[in-house]
Amino acid sequence: MGTKIVPVTITRKPSSKKQRALEILNRLKRLYPDATCSLNYSTPVQLLVATILSAQCTDERVNKVTPALFTRFPDAASLANADLAELEELVRSTGFYRNKAKNIQAACRMIVTEFDSVVPKEMAQLLRLPGVARKTANVVLAHAYGINAGVTVDTHVKRLSNHLGLTKHTDPVQIEQDLMKLLPQADWENWSIRLIYHGRAICKARSPLCVACELADLCPDANKPTAVG
């Protein structure tokens, strides 16, 4: 038998940063069609709490903590009135647990007293809650309410967006502004989720698998030593 020849489709490289971003988005959609928020939750307040806990912690670890947490304190009112020491103990394994517990309780107290126990649907109101910055607010708005108010920028999105040459900034807010200009609003959140999946599977911080990366031809850092980090 002769050698099997696999046809290779040659495509013209996108000429602008925006075109490149859209091509990356299309490939990410193809690579991770079922990508979704990996935090487990049943209500907007539970998503808010889980996202606060995910800071400097893996979603896998958060998902091990939240079943017991939400069984004991299922809503904003119960979290607002929780014994702080008990709350700290329940979230201890997520790291920075004292600060996280304090912020969760303070945020839930504000939700109860100022928002009738309902997590607000507006960015400005969410940012008033203790422990909530744009990353957390974007996650809550997108997944609890279907509102794409911005691009969630976590460590994976920050790192990969720089490697892919879509931003030169290191500040998450500035990175978010750059990405919002390049991507359709309807795709702001699914961009983040799929880029996170790609960061976990292929473009790993310590050992990026550039040889197996389907974005390599679009990535200025592909196969460079500087791609690590």
Catalytic residues: 135, 154
102 Cβ contact list (under 8 Å, min separation 6): 84, 130
Q: Rounded distance, CA 155 to CA 205, Å?
A: 10
Q: Rounded distance, CA 45 to CA 48, Å?
A: 5
Q: Rounded distance, CA 62 to CA 94, Å?
A: 6
Helix pair angle (134-145, 172-182), 10° resolution: 40
Look-up of token digits 């390049």: 182
Q: Nearest-CA neighbor of 193 among 224, 163, 223, 148?
A: 148
